[in-house]
Structure 1
Amino acid sequence: MNLTLWIAAGLLAFVALAGGISKTFVPREKLATMPGARWTGRVSTGFVRTLGILELLATVGLILPAALDVAPVLVPVTAVCWILLMIGAAVTHLRDGEARFIALNLVYLALAAFVAWGRLGPEPFTR
């Protein structure tokens, strides 16, 4: 189960990294033309960049605390934060009528719930 949790956290970290890089460094106007990112045209550049930075922090929080054995409790905490982010993303895509992105958000939410449950319950980093 430990390996499965690491793989799930790694997948989420990869998704967070990709989203974080695009939201932080791609101009908002360009993002707004991409599938699933229409919402960026309705919000401020600062808001989009803030979400991008939070996603970059999630990338770090899902892997490094456990890998370095420094405050590994941050992994499930980050996973819970990711769940909240995915709820917001699903609501946003629902408003835009983008069902396929809602499904993707729910997959990411389920992975994050699995990581949070696994690391807070049966497979914590400390015993």
Structure 2
Amino acid sequence: MLIALWIVNGLLALAFIAAGAMKALRPKPALVASGMGWADDFSDPVVKLIGIAEVLGGIGLVLPLLLSIAPVFAPIAAVCLTIVMVGAIVVHVRRHENPTPSVVLAVLSAASAVLGFVVVLG
């Protein structure tokens, strides 16, 4: 189970850190121009906050397990990322956009949370 947790968390961390860094570092017009039309519905600070939350969540998936310091924070980070992705699904559905990437990340984050709690608390 620990190996499965590391695989899922590693892949999720890569995805969330990359996507979050892009949202946190690129200006909003550049995000909209690159196909992230949803960013037009939010203020610039909110888009940056979403990006920062994704980066911190991605780090939170791996760092507690890697350092063996409060490893329960890894599944808690996964729960928080699941909540962020549920919000993303709602936004994409309301805008009549394809929510599939957000659904996949939400399901994988939820699976990471379950695996994490089983491994850490089990």
Structure 1 and Structure 2 fold alike (TM over 0.5): yes
Q: Deviations over 1:84-122 (max 9, x none)?
A: 0010000111112112xx11111111111111111112x
- Tell me how far apart the structure 2 counterparts of residues 108 and 52 of structure 1 sit (CA, whole Å): 15
- Following superposition, the deviation at residue 42 of structure 1 comes to 2.0
Matched residue type, 1:83: T
Matched residue type, 1:13: A
- Tell me how far apart the structure 1 counterparts of residues 112 and 41 of structure 2 sit (CA, whole Å): 32
Which residue is 1:120 aligned to? 117
Q: Which runs of at least 4 in structure 1 moved beyond 4 Å after TM superposition?
A: none
Q: Deviations over 1:8-51 (max 9, x none)?
A: 1111111111111111111101101222x101112111001111
Which residue is 2:20 aligned to? 20
- Tell me how far apart the structure 2 counterparts of residues 83 and 59 of structure 1 sit (CA, whole Å): 12
| Normalised TM-score (structure 1) | 0.90
1:55 aligns with 2:54: yes
Which residue is 1:106 aligned to? 103
Q: CA RMSD in A?
A: 1.2
Which residue is 1:85 aligned to? 84
The answer for unaligned runs of 5 or more in structure 2 is: none
Identity %: 35
Q: How many residues in Structure 1 have an aligned counterpart in Structure 2?
A: 122
- Following superposition, the deviation at residue 58 of structure 1 comes to 0.8
Q: Which has the higher helix share?
A: 2
Q: Deviations over 1:52-106 (max 9, x none)?
A: 111110121000011001111100000000110010000111112112xx11111
| Normalised TM-score (structure 2) | 0.94
The answer for unaligned runs of 5 or more in structure 1 is: none
